[in-house]
Structure 1
Amino acid sequence: MLHSLSLSLCGFIRLDMSEFQERHEVAKFIGSPPGYVGHEEGGQLTKKLKQCPNAVVLFDEVDKAHPDVLTIMLQLFDEGRLTDGKGKTIDCKDAIFIMTSNVASDEIAQHALQLREEALEMSRNRIAENLDDVQITDKITISKQFKENVIRPILKAHFRRDEFLGRINEIVYFLPFCHSELIQLVNNELNFWAKRAKARHNITLLWDREVMDVLADGYNLHYGARSIKHEVERRVVNQLAAAYEQDLLPRGCTLRITVDDSDKQLLKTKDSSFSAGEGRKAPTLRLEIVEKDSKSRKLDIQAPLNPDQMSYSI
């Protein structure tokens, strides 16, 4: 990947590589040759690179692209130029090319979880030994041995060409979220709905720290940040929508989200998905209206809360 950080970037180009899964779709990438339909339109990539040859180019989900598309990208990454369907050469040596892929994501995730467990155990041992330099951190690093012995063979088996992998300058690994990061995601999601409730209905939404821990337990390793978004919608937004439809929310009121059952299990499961544990009741969230005297009154929301019957009106 050829790049020059000193140059100011004039744009950002994103291509969804799932649109180039078939061989004939190569024409969409660089443009149709003379005599074919769409010849004058040009390719999705070449047309944009002509306009901005020093752009940041994102090839999203590159593992879904047809092998013929990868062949075109070999020239692009090696020489910093690309020949379009009309035979014209586009010089883009100052562009930055980024690719994303879900190949080996399960192996990376499981390895990262194992490393976090080992780091946590080391921290516990240090605390037990009363060492003065105890540092508990969520930061972990994937070893070079794991990258070479596990990840690279998977990449080679999928892309089937060493020359393609050899033109990649750097591979960045996205690891599963740690608990502190999940708390930030939950907080951001709750803030989004709190601003929406305030803007539309002048309703102030508050929540306890314990609520964020419970919602963070809904993290699913395979669905990433989306699982947090869905958990907040399922356990909080559905209740807000139901309370609103049942006329339980006076305009301008203050609502607090609390935990009904605080005997909860924090994010310690190996697959990072919520589990109430054997014989344990999963903690539930409830909505309370904060009165003027600072006392709280629990909302009596009619059950069941069926997500299929809910309408997000806040």
Structure 2
Amino acid sequence: KEIQRLINILGRRTKNNPLLLGDPGVGKTAIVEGLAKKIMEGKVPEFLLDKKIMALDLGLVVAGTMYRGEFEGRLKQILDELKTHPEIILFIDEVHTIVGTGAAPGSLDLANIIKPALAKGLVRCIGATTQEEYKKSIESDAALERRFQVVQVVEPTPEETEAVLKGIKANYEKFHGVTITNEAIEAAVSLSERYLPDKFLPDKAIDLVDEAASHVRTSYLPQGNSKKIREFDARLKQLQQAKELAVQEENFPLANAHKEEEARVKHELENLKKNRKTGEEKIGTISRPEIAQVVSQITGVPITELLAEEKTKLMALEEKLSSRIVGQAEAIKAVTRAIRRGRLGLGNPNRPLGSFLFLGPSGVGKTELAKAIAEIVLEDPQALVRLDMSEFSEGFNISKLIGAPAGYVGYKDSNKLTDVVRRKQSAIVLFDEVEKAHPDIFNLLLQVLDEGHLTDASGKQVNFKNTLIIMTSNLGLKELTQQAKLGFTAEVDKAQSNWANEWQETKDQLMGEVKKFFRPEFLNRLDGVIIFNPLKESDLAEIVKLQVTELNNRFQAQKLDLTIRLGRGVVGAIAKLTFSPQEGARGIKRYLTDKVEDPITARLLQSKIKPPANLTLSVKNGQVILK
């Protein structure tokens, strides 16, 4: 329909200048090429049968114009040529560049010189540009705007894109020497639509097919005819050099023998090249896995087919996280379910992989769980985008997340959220202590939680559909710390059932506070509100072991041949000494720093310890000592 509208406008008596307007990559230039093909095939109305479409290179028109009047002189020659040859239709790609081109003090730019010819119909000109550039350069000049007739080029549907790809795949098969399956075309359309939202169909789907074919081609090792051709080429060069040397030495019988051998090799080489041109050998096939691999390389999102090793890893994910985060089985289960759904592509494609609000006493592992996911699942600690929400307690600080609006200081400067997620689509976004943020921040997050994208200050849409969003909060801290104290003594008093009932009541009270603090439309968009359990004595004991193991690993990383061993009863003693409802497990780190790291540092400096050495933590008179 765009080509038909193009023909209708070209058939007008005056102002017969179509302007193709559309997003980058939707096929504006391809429409002009399509019209040229129709003219060549004779499938156009009679008035277009003798027409030729010629592209104007503005760079060449301007290049080398040193003196006033040179540019205008060149342009006048072009216009005279077009008037003399009415069969020529001019095509200017990026037509907005005519505004200002060639302008100098006291002279005219290209747009003003060409205006009269465009209005009278003496020159037919097809232009192509984007909406943004049209608004900026052409729409502001009403006289220029009225001379062009806008043809809106919309992004094709996935079905139309598939038809386009099937039509052009033969060109890519011939160029790369591969076979492109229909499965690959369908995958290119669906995956580009989901994982490359900043670009437009059909361009982004074509890019995936082209790059996948290029990857197969560059990975191909020459064999068969290609390998033989190389060998014969090398042999031919050797014979030519040997023949020349024999002639120089006046050994004519040998030179004649080389000449005969050279003729034979040339004949075989020509036959091999003819066979190769028939295209009897394809170097590979492009299907869905090859397209998925390219998308993974572009976006960093793992979407390739699951290997047996990766399936095992996903199944063991809960166990791995539990070995790092102690006593929080419910939270770990909820997060791993979301990760598995996302990795298999079964989650909602229009929302983030998961969005959770973590509640609980301080120091029970809320932030640590987000860090563990980044390290264990994504194998990249830098994939954690951590935002301390205490920095956003004022409404104007929202610009730190999405950028400052136009007209304000900091416009187009980098920001802490959208710029980071745009660069790394597969990320864990952690909003730490979210209750400290200004209420306007929650309104901003509604779009992310519901639609999976966010528009930044520059108007660009940022994709959050491959991120895991985690928010932590200390709401109801007083009730939680009280319950933590009861939970710690419950094991000793053998009163687990009473503690469980009280804990359920505390959770209900806490959910009441959450509903008072957060608006319903915010809570309804979350995948889950997870309350972390207070740490019991057995949990703290496990954390002590983890911290000591981490300390030993640090010694090894620093090439210190030191090992800390735990004596009998020392784990329980440290757990009791460090328990604090207000601090959770954080007291253990501080205790080990004071009682273990500092003494070891002092002894190393005083040369009282000489690696390799084994150090033991033991209990004496209720105190932990280092031997």
Q: TM-score with structure 2 length normalisation?
A: 0.36
Residue of structure 2 equivalent to 1:167: 525
**Alignment partners' CA distance in 2, 1:167 and 1:121:** 41
Residues 405 and 458 in structure 2, CA contact (< 8 A), matched pair in contact too = yes
What whole-Å deviation, never above 9, does each CA across 1:133-167 have from its counterpart, x for those lacking one? xxxxx999953x5434x1123224444x2322232
User: 3-state DSSP class of the match of 1:100?
Assistant: strand
What whole-Å deviation, never above 9, does each CA across 1:203-223 have from its counterpart, x for those lacking one? 443330312222111222211
The 1:284–1:19 alpha-carbon spacing in structure 2 relative to 1, beyond 3 Å, is same
User: 3-state DSSP class of the match of 1:171?
Assistant: strand
User: 3-state DSSP class of the match of 1:37?
Assistant: coil
1:208 to 552, 567, 573: 567
Given the alignment of the two structures, is residue 30 of structure 1 paired with residue 30 of structure 2, yes or no? Answer: no
The 1:182–1:40 alpha-carbon spacing in structure 2 relative to 1, beyond 3 Å, is same
**Alignment partners' CA distance in 2, 1:96 and 1:195:** 29
Q: How many residues align?
A: 251
**Alignment partners' CA distance in 2, 1:84 and 1:187:** 45
Residues 43 and 84 in structure 1, CA contact (< 8 A), matched pair in contact too = no
* Percentage of matched positions with identical amino acids: 31
The 1:184–1:100 alpha-carbon spacing in structure 2 relative to 1, beyond 3 Å, is same
Query: Counterparts of 1:172-187 in structure 2 under 5 Å?
Result: 172-187=530-545
Query: Counterparts of 1:1-314 in structure 2 under 5 Å?
Result: 5=342, 6-7=344-345, 11-53=383-425, 55-114=427-486, 142-143=503-504, 146-148=506-508, 150-159=509-518, 161-196=519-554, 201-217=560-576, 218-261=578-621, 283-288=622-627
What whole-Å deviation, never above 9, does each CA across 1:23-43 have from its counterpart, x for those lacking one? 111111111112222222254
The 1:45–1:251 alpha-carbon spacing in structure 2 relative to 1, beyond 3 Å, is closer
Determine which structure has more spread, i.e. the larger CA radius of gyration.
Answer: 2
**Alignment partners' CA distance in 2, 1:142 and 1:124:** 10
Residues 109 and 175 in structure 1, CA contact (< 8 A), matched pair in contact too = no
Residues 17 and 65 in structure 1, CA contact (< 8 A), matched pair in contact too = yes
Query: Given residue 418 of structure 2, which amino acid in structure 1 is its aligned partner?
Result: T
Residue of structure 2 equivalent to 1:304: none
**Alignment partners' CA distance in 1, 2:626 and 2:384:** 43
**Alignment partners' CA distance in 1, 2:463 and 2:579:** 44
Query: Given residue 25 of structure 1, which amino acid in structure 2 is its aligned partner?
Result: N
Query: Given residue 260 of structure 1, which amino acid in structure 2 is its aligned partner?
Result: K
Q: TM-score with structure 1 length normalisation?
A: 0.66
Cα distance, 1:173 vs structure 2? 1.5
**Alignment partners' CA distance in 2, 1:176 and 1:55:** 28
The 1:157–1:86 alpha-carbon spacing in structure 2 relative to 1, beyond 3 Å, is same
What stretches of structure 1 move > 6 A for 4+ residues in a row? 138-141
More helix by share: 2
**Alignment partners' CA distance in 1, 2:414 and 2:475:** 30
Cα distance, 1:106 vs structure 2? 3.4
Structure 2: runs of 5 or more not aligned: 1-337, 346-352, 354-376
Cα distance, 1:100 vs structure 2? 0.8
The 1:114–1:50 alpha-carbon spacing in structure 2 relative to 1, beyond 3 Å, is same
Relative contact order, CA 8 A, sep 6+: which one is greater? 1
Cα distance, 1:48 vs structure 2? 2.8
**Alignment partners' CA distance in 2, 1:242 and 1:42:** 44
